[in-house]
Amino acid sequence: MNNEPNILMLAKRYKALGDELRLRVLRALRDDSFGVLELSEIFSMRQSGMSHHLKTLANAGLVTTRREGTSVFYRRCVVAQDSVIQAILQELDVAPLDEEVARGVEKIRAERLQQAQAFFAKNAERFEVQQELISDFEQYADLAESMLALATGQQKKVIELGPGTGQFIATLAQRYQHVCAVDISEQMLAQAKKRNQALALKNVSYVHGELGDLADQTVDAIVANMVLHHMPAPADVFRHSGHMLSNGGVLLVTDLCEHDQAWAREACGDMWLGFDQQQLVDWAAQAGLALHQSSFMALRNGFQVQCLLFEKNV
């Protein structure tokens, strides 16, 4: 009698996995979260049909939902207690995306990227004022710096992803031999350069692009302060970090905890309404990174920030 719930869930999971389209959806959700309309576009099918398949996957505990404003996004669950399901998903993840699906995914990501770039191009000059609606830099900078001090690996090269107006660059320049600031927005990168120009920092370089553009480099640390919630595909930060970090290298993530204040989308250009810690830990685990230290602090207007230090140990 006690086994009936487990048997029922097993039946639901294997039924859900017994459909080719649902397997392809799970593969597409390996590195990203998508809304039902986005998935309908990617797989060229009606929303009603996609909703049916997503409901089947959700009932089987293979995907979870997250409301972002008026939209519901889906991401894949980590089924830690079921080694058979884990093996199936690992086998699935080895397979490349179908060409048509891959094109659909890239189209959605490109649209998200254009949306983010358009916001920062328009608001670069007043970015700090808008960010103060949520938090002051000083509120989380000390926490981020103290967390980074716990890293025991080499301190040769660090990448700061999305440096904003460059407030944390000088701190990193004192700790690391070389700092590379990377941003998708030329306007924000110009703001960062302008702020640090007077300091004449000789160990800082600036790159207009994404973290993936530097995927052939090996670095000792990657810092993402209050940037994931602006990114088109935040899981990519973990995936690239897993490849780029040296043994003992760290990924420092400071970001908002999950919230429901949708006004931040329009006012601050937020693409995601914060993150549940477990979601970040899951993405890190998939990339071969382990949570080393975490801390939380309350901000204004009901927001909470989390500071997480992940470490790579081969």
CB 77 within 8 A of CB 64: yes
Cross-sheet strand order for the sheet of 304-312: 204-208, 178-183, 157-161, 219-225, 245-256, 304-312, 289-298
Is residue 128 scored above 60 in pLDDT? yes
Residue ranges matching CATH 1.10.10.10 in the chain: 4-97
Is residue 3 scored above 60 in pLDDT? no
Q: What is the pLDDT of residue 1?
A: 41
Token pair recorded at residue 213 = 């553009």
CB 227 within 8 A of CB 251: no
The phi, psi pair for 168, rounded to 5°, reads: -95, -5
> What CATH homologous superfamily does 126-312 map to?
Vaccinia Virus protein VP39 (3.40.50.150)
| pLDDT tens digits, one per residue of 289-298 | 999 999 998 8
Q: What is the pLDDT of residue 80?
A: 63
Q: Is the dihedral of CA 197, 203, 207, 211 positive or negative?
A: negative
**Domain 4-97 indexed as CATH 1.10.10.10:** yes
Q: What proportion of the chain, given as a percentage, has pLDDT over 90?
A: 59
Residue ranges matching CATH 3.40.50.150 in the chain: 126-312
Give whichever of 93-102, 179-188, 258-267 has the largest mean pLDDT. Answer: 179-188
CB 189 within 8 A of CB 127: no
| pLDDT tens digits, one per residue of 225-239 | 999 999 989 999 999
Provide the pLDDT confidence category of residue 78 given band limits of 50, 70 and 90: confident
Lowest mean pLDDT: which of 72-81, 130-139, 204-213, 273-282? 130-139
Q: What is the pLDDT of residue 5?
A: 55
Rounded mean pLDDT, 87-98: 89
Q: What distance in Å separates the CA atoms of residue 206 and residue 218, rounded to the nearest whole number?
A: 17
| pLDDT tens digits, one per residue of 109-126 | 999 999 989 988 888 777
Is the model more confident about 82 or about 90? 90
* Buried/exposed code over 280-295 (b: 16+ C-beta within 10 A; e: otherwise): bbbbbbbbbbeebbee
Rounded mean pLDDT, 177-206: 93
Q: How far is CA 95 from the centre of its chain?
A: 22
Q: What proportion of the chain, given as a percentage, has pLDDT over 70?
A: 95
Q: What is the pLDDT of residue 56?
A: 96
**Which residue matches tokens 């043994």?**
247
CB 176 within 8 A of CB 146: no
